[in-house]
Structure 1
């Protein structure tokens, strides 16, 4: 049974989420305090973390950042903040998805299911040991680790999927629409702008000069291409 941690200080919302998840076969646990929620989230005991941004003691951004230091499990933000800057910041900190309140518990459950399925598929693929090596860049699919000039860098699940997709298809140009459909499918009710956000985040982590990328090239009006150098 998959175990979901809900970090939400609004008891009514948290209990609605928990009850609906339990009806759908998940084990769900609530934590209303941001600090305590963060302590639980980093234990490795959960398959998905659902986190609000505005919490007492520790906000959602800090919690996401702390989880991402050690884990790549799906993180879904639920928040009353509906500005694009808040969504982008949440994704930039390492969240995989963003739901704006109010939302239906059915939608949350559907997204959790989709993220778990994708995460498990990704982990399953990594069982077939393979290391992709390019000049200065190494992608170890067995351990889900990325190395730049032998130094390990931390990528979120979506960042890893996106980089692996491009690096597995070098010199092929993919449109933002194609990348969005491949990496996010129907699990994220956003738009192709999230592709550019994630590309930017990856470049900051793997490129020597993110403003003049060597690995992930932009072809204006066409999309992105991985340059094996």
Structure 2
């Protein structure tokens, strides 16, 4: 099994491509945003640590995290943003790792990791065999975000500028999907990339490497046992 990183910019169409890969081609897609919500559910370690550092004001009456309120708290405070990241990021990476391991043993050919900040954080990049960026023009990104979230132009620009420019991400990835046209065009590009991934033999290289490592560990264990009981 090998890993494919899927990323883009806010309102570039990444979720659309992820949905096509999952619903139309049957790919396993691990959504980092969904995982981020899971690790702060009431009672989790992330939930308890956020409550400890940020107080009860960022929670709703039913105990669930008020993500909008927390976002307002950290948006203009870099120190508080670092604290939140130090709480949530380790839990997110741990949860993603368990999902990857599970799918490896289920025999998946490859899985898609939907990671909005793949190139910003850089932590997951070394584990990706391929990386896909969903791209569109800056003007389209701005207009889509304003329409989707009912943001003012200024508010939308602030959120776009907080991320790495799409042009830079396109220079770092192995594949680009141009989502500046209609959905059919995006679908055709996604289909071509899916075909390429499905034909790849990379998963066998990974499995052989893991088998060799496992064999070495087993061989070393047997050798040590023989030394002890000889």
Instruction: Kindly name which structure, 1 or 2, has the bigger radius of gyration based on alpha carbons.
Output: 2
> TM-score surpassing 0.5?
no
Structure number with higher strand proportion: 1
Q: Could you state the TM-score of these two structures normalised by the residue count of structure 2?
A: 0.31
Structure number with higher helix proportion: 2
